[in-house]
């Protein structure tokens, strides 16, 4: 079984990224940030990878992201709100919403 820690080692370096901005395509004034700080660096790496591969956060990107979060997905499903970056992917798979990804460099 894959685990998230091993998966992270395969992603590109993200030390040049300050934050990732996620913009709602239907409402340009609605957006969220993932800051490149302790505790969210794994998500920065994963979302950066999804940006490289998919260019946006759509249903296919969300499914891939959930596969890459490995063991943390079950915990997120059992504890809504504990893993907001996984919750977002779960929500996109249900709503079919697409978010624009903007990489903000340091």
Evaluate whether 37 touches 29 at the Cβ level (below 8 Å).
no
| Cβ(48)–Cβ(14) below 8 Å | yes
Mean pLDDT over residues 13-24, rounded? 96
Q: How many residues does the structure list for the chain?
A: 106
Distance (Å, rounded) from C-alpha 63 to C-alpha 31?
Answer: 21
pLDDT in tens, 47-66: 999 999 999 999 999 999 99
C-alpha–C-alpha distance, residues 43 and 39, integer Å:
9
Residue listed under structure tokens 């490149």: 36
Per-residue pLDDT averaged across 70-81, rounded? 96
Give the SS3 label for residue 30: coil
pTM of the entire predicted model:
0.94
């Amino acid at each position: 079984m894959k685990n998230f820690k091993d998966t992270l080692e395969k992603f590109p370096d993200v030390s040049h990224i300050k934050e990732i901005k996620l913009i709602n395509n239907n409402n340009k004034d609605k957006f969220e940030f993932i800051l490149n700080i302790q505790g969210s660096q794994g998500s920065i790496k994963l979302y950066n990878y999804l940006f490289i591969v998919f260019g946006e956060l759509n249903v296919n990107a969300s499914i891939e992201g959930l596969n890459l979060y490995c063991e943390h997905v079950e915990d997120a499903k059992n504890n809504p709100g504990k893993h907001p970056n996984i919750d977002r992917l779960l929500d996109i798979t249900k709503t079919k919403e697409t978010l624009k990804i903007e990489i903000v460099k340091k």
